[in-house]
Amino acid sequence: MTPSKKRVEIYTDGACSGNPGTGGWAAVLLYNGHKKEISGAQFDTTNNRMELTAIIEGLKMLKEPCRVTVYSDSAYSVDPFLKNWIDGWIMRGWRTASKDDVKNVDLWQTLLDLKHVHEVEFVKVKGHSDNELNNRCDLLARTAIKQINPKQSINTLPVTTIPDDI
């Protein structure tokens, strides 16, 4: 008899200061009475990339295949699965129904790879409302934006050419 997969809940959120701009992401993972919070930030990104990154990073934390419920307030991240848009995107070579290029294909492909490892169900929650863990993720993502150190990012540092005579 095969043991059943662990059931994990992951709450996620992304934020961006400017869009594009400096972004943050966060996830709260719940398993068997335990809670783990993760977050991060990056420069020169978009809110949608941070929303997807939060889900991806949450799923990457799992050490074995699990049954996962992902809670997100991002229609951008959830609707492609709930409304089966992603299957159409793939069939059309990563183009939308209106023949536009799908944005953030790299992240969508990573998320699909993780979705093949785990049984993932997506749930859309109302953002900035009474969902305590969604609000916690929002706070963690916004805090990550504030804590990021500009000197650590090559994206924001000007490129200085070295004179030939040095």
pLDDT tens digits, one per residue of 88-144: 999 999 999 999 999 999 999 999 999 999 999 999 998 778 899 999 999 999 999
Specify the pTM: 0.87
Catalytic annotation, pick one of 37, 119, 128, 132: 128
The DSSP 8-state label assigned to residue 31 in this structure reads E
List the beta bridge partners of residue 122: 70
Q: Round to whole Å and give the CA distance between 103 and 36.
A: 30
Enclosing H/E stretch for 166: none
**Known catalytic residue at 165:** no
Among 125, 133, 99, 110, which Cα is nearest to 29's?
Answer: 133
Active-site entry in 9, 14, 24, 58: 14
**Is 14 an annotated catalytic residue?**
yes
- Peptide bond preceding 20: is omega within 30 degrees of 0, i.e. cis? yes
**128 catalytic residue (yes or no):** yes
- Per-residue pLDDT at 148: 87
Let me know if 113 is a catalytic residue: no
The band of 156, judged by pLDDT with boundaries at 50, 70 and 90, is very low
Catalytic residue, chosen from 23, 24, 58, 138, is 138
